[in-house]
Amino acid sequence: MKYVSYTIDPGGDVELVLKQPNSQQLIPFVPSDEHADEYEDPMNEPTVAYPDLAARYHVFDDLLSPAEAKKDPSPLGHRFNALVSTIKTRRPPKARTPLEGEVRMRVSSRHLILASPMLRAMLEGPWKEKSSTSSFFGTPLRLVTASRWDAVAFAIVVDIVHGRHGVVPRIVDLKLMTRIATIVDFYACHEVVKIFSETWYQNIGTEFEDEYSNQALMWLSVSSVFLNQEISGRVARNILKHMGSPQLSTDHLPINGVLAKIENKRQELIGTIVSELQDLRNTLPNSDFLCDWHNYHDPTCHSIALGILERELDRVGASKRPLEPPFNGYTVASMIQLVNDIPESIAATTPGYEHYHDVSVCSVRGRMRHVLGRVKAEMDSWTLDLKMDGRGG
């Protein structure tokens, strides 16, 4: 087994042991319609200590496989990587086999206790780890364990907690910031890291694709831990628009409650559209809706629209994705498109035929346009209500 020694406080009274470093599969892969799901998320590769990070963090390169340790990072440096981190790339699957090892840090109990309620409970509470000691550093020390965190991210957080701010990077990319945010949320040390998160936000590109992706989950995690209402609002709307199923495992991310709010809103908006379609189906036989053909006294418009609507609803109902809660497989965007794709009863280009932006007013799409407009407006303006929850805001 490989042991990495990392001394933060030479006179510290605690040995903080990180077991199975770099082994956490943090971000689930989010397949898109354009890409097969056999690709692995590069987020789950351990951090390589880029040259822009302080030399002390290169000690953790010993925990990487030989192939990963030899990677040559971008010659343009870590700042460039941060600024272009919003560009999505797909890579072939990679077998990830982290080396077996441990990181052993000598730290101060007073710093840990002041920064983290969880660590305070571990060191002072009724279930404190007072019976465990270690002599790895030559002196018996209290032993506190952690597991699976990315070693570089963990070291950065512990350095911040101990006031070793000179070595802490001012520029991080989105992947490293997500790893740091997850650790900060777990140990509830938001306040002590807050000033650095503000600097990281200033030095990272905050543009991202309009899609539901692993990148979106990273931004949601970061903006939920290091509270940023503007970023969280944008990414939440993107996820709300494009998320088709909540069945991804995000247990390792600090977003389960946040993602649940987005999922509830997704079901609500899709449910509104489905309910209106059902109401239209039930009311069309006795509708007093005057279509643009009423001048011709044509009594067939309602019947034609009803027939088309029933055919389309029956077709969807017989598919593998029926329009039933929780509407798995449907995004709000795809549901709007489904309604817009329902065929017209009469070509909107028919001479003498009035229409609304090339949509027949008496068609299903025409009758639903106000509902779709309301749903789209609500989707585009919706935002998360992020509470401070003691996060040092």
**pLDDT tens for each residue of 342-373:** 988 665 455 555 554 555 667 888 889 999 99
Q: Are 171 and 301 members of one domain?
A: no
CA distance 322 to 100: 47
Query: Who has greater pLDDT, 390 or 109?
Result: 109
Q: Are 26 and 130 members of one domain?
A: yes
Q: Which of 26-40, 201-215, 297-311 has the highest mean pLDDT?
A: 201-215
Q: Are 110 and 22 members of one domain?
A: yes
Q: Are 182 and 106 members of one domain?
A: yes
| Amino acid at position 191, single letter | E
CA distance 92 to 255: 27
- Quick: pLDDT tens for 94-146: 444 556 789 999 999 999 999 999 999 999 866 555 556 777 787 889 999 99
pLDDT band at 239 (very low <50, low <70, confident <90, very high): very high
Contact by Cβ (8 Å): 105, 16: yes
Query: Who has greater pLDDT, 299 or 96?
Result: 299
Place of tokens 């279509």: 291
* Residue 234 belongs to a domain: no
Averaged pLDDT score across all residues of the chain: 81
* Residue 386 belongs to a domain: no
Beta bridge partners of 105: 6, 16
First-to-last C-alpha distance (Å) of the chain: 41
Report CA-CA distances (Å) from 65 to 45, 68, 106, 375. 11, 5, 25, 50
Instruction: Look at residue 86 in the predicted model and tell me its pLDDT.
Output: 37
Q: Which of 164, 180, 200 is the last residue of a domain?
A: 200
* Residue 305 belongs to a domain: yes
Average of pLDDT values for 218-236?
Answer: 95
Beta bridge partners of 102: 3, 19
Instruction: Look at residue 368 in the predicted model and tell me its pLDDT.
Output: 92
Q: Are 40 and 189 members of one domain?
A: yes
Instruction: Look at residue 64 in the predicted model and tell me its pLDDT.
Output: 73
Number of domains in the chain: 2
Q: Which of 147, 181, 200 is the last residue of a domain?
A: 200
Q: Smallest Cα–Cα separation from 338: which of 358, 365, 359?
A: 365
Give every strand in the sheet of 101-107, ordered side by side. 2-7, 101-107, 14-19, 141-147, 133-134
Instruction: Look at residue 30 in the predicted model and tell me its pLDDT.
Output: 77
pLDDT band at 77 (very low <50, low <70, confident <90, very high): very low
CA distance 19 to 354: 71
Query: Who has greater pLDDT, 378 or 289?
Result: 378
Contact by Cβ (8 Å): 178, 218: yes
Q: How far is CA 213 from the centre of its chain?
A: 7
Average of pLDDT values for 189-196?
Answer: 97
Residue 62 CB burial class (10 angstroms; 0-12, 13-18, ≥19):
middle
Is 83 in a helix, a strand, or coil?
A: helix
pLDDT band at 174 (very low <50, low <70, confident <90, very high): very high
Place of tokens 């795809």: 334
Query: Who has greater pLDDT, 93 or 194?
Result: 194
Report CA-CA distances (Å) from 384 to 144, 261, 262. 36, 8, 8
* Residue 241 belongs to a domain: no
Average of pLDDT values for 28-34?
Answer: 61
Instruction: Look at residue 207 in the predicted model and tell me its pLDDT.
Output: 86
Please tell me what DSSP assigns to residue 378: H
Q: Are 159 and 22 members of one domain?
A: yes
Query: Who has greater pLDDT, 96 or 18?
Result: 18
Angle at 337 between CA 332 and CA 339, to 5 degrees: 100
* Residue 233 belongs to a domain: no
Q: Which of 173, 200, 227 is the last residue of a domain?
A: 200
Average of pLDDT values for 274-291?
Answer: 83
pLDDT band at 93 (very low <50, low <70, confident <90, very high): very low
Q: Which of 45-59, 347-361, 367-381 has the highest mean pLDDT?
A: 367-381
Max Cα-Cα span within the chain? 97
- Quick: pLDDT tens for 141-151: 999 999 999 99
Q: Are 155 and 297 members of one domain?
A: no
pLDDT band at 295 (very low <50, low <70, confident <90, very high): very low
Q: Which two tokens stand for residue 355?
A: 């229409």
With a pLDDT cut of 70, the percent of the chain lying above it is: 73
CA distance 172 to 78: 7
Instruction: Look at residue 81 in the predicted model and tell me its pLDDT.
Output: 43
Please tell me what DSSP assigns to residue 285: G
Instruction: Look at residue 170 in the predicted model and tell me its pLDDT.
Output: 94
Parent domain of 339: 266-380
Instruction: Look at residue 354 in the predicted model and tell me its pLDDT.
Output: 53
| Amino acid at position 88, single letter | K
β-pair type (2-7, 133-134): unpaired
For residue 351, say if its preceding peptide bond is cis, omega within 30 degrees of 0: no
Instruction: Look at residue 366 in the predicted model and tell me its pLDDT.
Output: 84
* Residue 210 belongs to a domain: no
pTM of the predicted structure, to 2 decimals: 0.81
* Residue 178 belongs to a domain: yes
Average of pLDDT values for 197-204?
Answer: 95
* Residue 222 belongs to a domain: no
Task: Average the pLDDT over each of 123-137, 153-167, 226-240, 307-321 and give the range with the smallest value.
Answer: 123-137
Instruction: Look at residue 325 in the predicted model and tell me its pLDDT.
Output: 94
